Amino acid sequence: MAPLISFQEVSKVFGTGDRTIRAVDGVTLDIEAGEIFGVIGYSGAGKSTLVRLVNALETVTSGRLLVDGQDVTALREPQLRRVRAGIGMVFQQFNLLNSRTVAGNVAYPLKVAGWPREKRAARVAELLDYVGIADKAKAYPRQLSGGQKQRVGIARALATSPRILLADEATSALDPDTTQDVLALLRRVNRDLGVTVVVITHEMDVIRSLAHRVAVMEAGKVVEHGPVYDVFAAPRERATRRFVATTLKDRPTPEAVARLRHRHPGRIVTVGIRESGVDVTAALREHGVDGTIVFGGITEIDERPFGSLTLELTGADAAIDALVADLRGRTDVDDLGTAGVPA
């Protein structure tokens, strides 16, 4: 099946003459229907611009951008308005209309789309119920908490039943608990309604718990992309490794390694824990080696296990060598050696 969103050598340049900025630089990327696609990058990496090209809030400078089979770079303003109306968008600062009630905000895109009044009211009630704030229909945005505001934002974005939902740092202004609620809601929107969700964030945790696939952006370019699990498990680029390190603090830093060697006389080895599953305890027993867990962490990415354990191995050198060789065959192993013989 053709991808729902297809970037083909897309660039976006701001400014003219000598003072130009390439916010998006030759991006080629496909986003499939029905997936949750994450775009991660530091601020200024171009991810917000990238997503704004999809609903034509920004125009493409060069390249082709197909949205639902239609080349949006070839469209003019009135046609673009129709494309935009078919794509929902939620924002970091919610961007609710403070002059309208919660119900008024959700009804606004329906008004724009020309829905008659009676149908609007029913749809608004249905949406507010879906996002869990039916009791706030008559409240004004200034009377709501951040999490409630974002629920309104999501209800509003879903009003016209779009196929695509763009979430621009949708949880970055929320506290950790509320962030989880909103992420769960976005997951539900994807699963129940089949809406393709494009999430922009600088937080790897959001990608980890929400996205199926991810693209890492740096200086306008997509430096790495693929299934979230694969990108986490084997980050190729420095930027990706830095993001992975922010969410999983399972591997000891060089300073921590020095302390571990000082504290533990045995051989220090870090063993990756992956979906393939390695029974470390069984391997230790098999080779007659003692192991003590001295560092590590295991979590889930895309609902699959991921992390590492750092062990102090004690026993005969030959047995330890055999064990390490055995584990290397099954997962990634980082042999950190001992204080006397650092690997």
Partner 1 sequence: MNRDWSELSPILWESVRETLYIVGVTVGVGGALGLVLGVLLYATRRGNLLENVVVFTVLNVAVNVVRPIPFIIFITAVGPVTLAVVGTTIGNEAVIFAMSIMATFVTARIVEQNLVATDPGVVEAARAMGASRLRILVTVLVPEALAPLILGYTFLLIGIVDMSALAGYVGGGGLGNFAIVYGYQRFNWEVTLVTVLVIIGMVQLAQLLGNWLARKALHR
Residues forming the site for partner 1 (CB under 8 A): 55, 57, 81-87, 89, 91, 93, 95-100, 108-109, 112-113, 140-143, 156, 160, 166
Q: Which is nearer to partner 1, 84 or 120 (CB)?
A: 84
Q: What Rg do the C-alpha atoms of the chain give, in angstroms?
A: 24
Residue carrying the six token digits 């045995």: 266
As measured in angstroms, the least distance from the Cβ of 140 to partner 1 is: 4
Q: How far is the CB of 164 from partner 1 (least distance, A)?
A: 11
CA gap 317, 319 in Å, rounded: 5
Longest dimension (CA), the chain: 80
Nearer to partner 1, 82 or 263 (CB): 82
Closest contact distance (angstroms) between CB of 320 and partner 1 is 59
Dump the DSSP string for 46-115.
SHHHHHHHHTTSS--SEEEEEETTEEGGG--HHHHHHHHHTEEEEETT----TTS-HHHHHHHHHHHTT-
Residue with Cβ nearer partner 1 (186 or 260): 186
Question: Considering beta carbons, is residue 89 or 103 the nearer one to partner 1?
Answer: 89
Looking at beta carbons only, is 116 or 176 nearer to partner 1? Answer: 116
Q: What is the nearest approach in angstroms of partner 1 to the Cβ of residue 339?
A: 55
Minimum distance from residue 235 beta carbon to partner 1 (Å): 33
Backbone angles phi, psi at 118, to 5 degrees: -65, -45
Of 141 and 252, the one with the shorter C-beta distance to partner 1 is 141
Residue with Cβ nearer partner 1 (90 or 309):
90
Rounded Cα gap, residues 91 and 150, in angstroms: 8
- Give the nearest distance from C-beta 14 to partner 1 in angstroms: 11
Burial call 302-316: b when 16+ CB within 10 Å, e when fewer: beeebbbbbbbbebe
CA distances from 205 to 31, 133, 174, 281 (A): 21, 26, 13, 29
Q: Does residue 158 contact residue 127 with C-beta atoms inside 8 Å?
A: yes
In whole angstroms, the minimum distance from the beta carbon of 343 to partner 1 comes to: 52
Provide the 10 A C-beta neighbour count for residue 180: 15
